[in-house]
Structure 1
Amino acid sequence: MEIMIALLLVAALRYYFDNYTFAVKEIEVSSENIPKGFHEYRILHISDLHNTRYGRGNSRLISKVLELNPDAIFYTGDMISRQSLEKGQFEMLIEGLSHKYPSYYVDGNHEDELYGKDKEAFISLLRRNGIRHLENEKVLLERKGDQAALYGLRLPRRYLRNTYDAQGKEILTKESLKKSLGPLHKGFTMMLAHNPLYFPVYAEYGTDLVFSGHVHGGLVRLPVTGGVFSPDRTFFPRYARGVYEERNKKIIVSPGIGGIKLRIINRPAIYVVRLMRKESETQNIR
């Protein structure tokens, strides 16, 4: 009986830890393509809040962001939930961070379900708080005399449920991205794209570094297989949490900072991504 009580207590503590606290994970990305001016550039990557609260008015989350003091904030969608539209804890979060850091936002599937006045109110909320809303467009970031391109990809809703290898479904292609985003910028490029499951296509397009969310880390994580569930209603998503690489391109997939309270061994997190310029071998041989 005592052992059973102890196990239940441990399980309860683990559940609380995995669903009501969040971690800060630092990730270093090194590449020869990173401009010298962006060496040690620090990006706070946050995704899938779903209007979750961390302290009154999201004070715990706001305090942590201010403490981290990033160079920029990248939001990769689903910071609200379709039931709550533009109001709630996300609004309190960005009001607490209003105009403090260059901030960029791409829609997820929940924002995609806003229409008419609701969508206008949401975009106005972002604008009032100094957040650039990117819908299939490019902005040039500048630092210390150098530039890096940032794309914001907004896919039609049909691409949020059907993965790149789903049989009989429309498939996202490199040509589709070119139509949406135009030719790839020459130089170091980054992309905000809510759905990570198309990473092979993003890599084929040529984007150096992609930021995504959507999968919530797979909700339940197993020691060997990783994330179990995917929002596209399949099991064991290929990209669930962390850093992945293909074609010498990288994607950073946020596990999300909120969502339904069913996480197991999958603590919510915000990522701090540090860009590090790596000198080429030809430069080192002199």
Structure 2
Amino acid sequence: MLCLVCVLLAALGLGAVWGNRSLQVQEVAVDCPGLPAAFQGFRLAQVSDLHNAAFGRDNARLLAALAQAKPESILLTGDLADSRRTHLAVALSFARQAAAIAPVYYVPGNHEARLAQYAAFAAALEAAGVQVLANRAVPLVRGGGRITIAGLADPGLAQRAGDLRPAEAILGDALAALRLSSQPFPLLLAHRPEWFPLYAEGGAALVFSGHAHGGQVRLPGIGGLFAPGQGLFPRYDGGLYRRGQARMVVSRGLGNSLFPLRVGNRPEVVVATLHPAPSVEGQ
């Protein structure tokens, strides 16, 4: 009996290790009202919440998965680094190699917002070939069509600099300054998914977020157990969401932070393929 218990415990332990280190590539098709026809089939790979994790030596397995997905752009939606384990060289090495696969766009998450060296980190990312979109937008052209890729800095950056307003007010002002409604098909990178209604009202057509870590523990038929900013049984824990004509893709992320274990929740790279969809009044 003791041997059987030991075997079961060993199996559970190995399963937990496998479930936290085994990469999953999650393909998602996104119907996008207002997407220019030239962007039919546009592929975007999303890496979120890496938290300095390494999948293979120097993230070789993660980079191989990205290369195999053949994205036209790579989106880094925050917490590339971890404020508790500030091995920034790991994050920078990954970013530099990812930029050799496809153009890379990045927004800071709450962990970068806590870094005393964030300004130097952002400058190093730019030097590595990554576009840092902290409250700014850039155009992207494909086959004669044009969209906009915009990024929201995590509100923690402003709060750390002395802005004592709540996150919603900070994000609202940043969104207003971006003037997304006047931009061609605004695709928004924003680390925190719980503010999806605010992003949609601010004019975002398509949002990519992370932060929720898939709810950390995923229960069959229920979903994620807990996410920061959302609490128990979060509404936005991973996958594709719709609000009116806006869409949001939430990555379950790759690494762990304060809670070091995922259960039923493998690390994932999201690969989103965009398709134009008709705009419906009152949708």
Q: TM-score, normalised by structure 1?
A: 0.86
* TM-superposed deviation, 1:114: 2.3
Corresponding residue for 2:234? 237
Corresponding residue for 2:44? 43
Corresponding letter in the other structure for 1:237: P
Corresponding letter in the other structure for 2:262: R
Q: Does 1:150 align with 2:149?
A: yes
Deviations 1:105-159 (A, max 9, x none): 00001111123xx223212221122110011111111111110011101142299
* TM-superposed deviation, 1:250: 1.2
CA distance in 1, matches of 2:68, 2:36: 26
Corresponding residue for 2:65? 64
Corresponding residue for 1:257? 254
CA distance in 1, matches of 2:235, 2:170: 18
* Mapping 1:137-286, distance limit 5 Å: 137-157=136-156, 171-172=168-169, 176-232=173-229, 234-260=231-257, 261-278=260-277
Corresponding residue for 1:163? none
Q: TM-score, normalised by structure 2?
A: 0.87
Corresponding residue for 1:126? 125
Compared CA separation, residues 280 and 228, structure 1 to 2 (3 A): closer
Q: Is the CA contact 1:42–1:275 (under 8 Å) kept in the aligned structure 2?
A: yes
Q: Which moved more, 1:45-54 or 1:32-41?
A: 32-41
* 3-state SS, counterpart of residue 181 of structure 2: coil
Corresponding residue for 1:74? 75
RMSD of aligned Cα (Å): 2.4
Deviations 1:29-61 (A, max 9, x none): 123411111111100011000000111111111
Corresponding residue for 1:164? none
Corresponding letter in the other structure for 1:91: L
Compared CA separation, residues 17 and 146, structure 1 to 2 (3 A): same
Unmatched 5+ stretches in structure 2: 160-165
Corresponding residue for 1:18? 19
* TM-superposed deviation, 1:172: 4.5
Q: Does 1:29 align with 2:26?
A: no
Unmatched 5+ stretches in structure 1: 161-168, 282-286
* 3-state SS, counterpart of residue 236 of structure 2: coil
Q: How many residues align?
A: 271
Percent identity between the two aligned chains? 35
CA distance in 1, matches of 2:55, 2:146: 35
Deviations 1:71-105 (A, max 9, x none): 00010000101134462322221232344311100
Q: Which moved more, 1:79-88 or 1:238-247?
A: 79-88
Q: Is the CA contact 2:155–2:171 (under 8 Å) kept in the aligned structure 1?
A: no
CA distance in 1, matches of 2:115, 2:64: 29
Compared CA separation, residues 203 and 87, structure 1 to 2 (3 A): same
CA distance in 2, matches of 1:136, 1:52: 26
Corresponding residue for 1:165? none
Q: Is the CA contact 1:216–1:254 (under 8 Å) kept in the aligned structure 2?
A: yes
* 3-state SS, counterpart of residue 114 of structure 1: coil
Q: Is the CA contact 1:173–1:201 (under 8 Å) kept in the aligned structure 2?
A: no
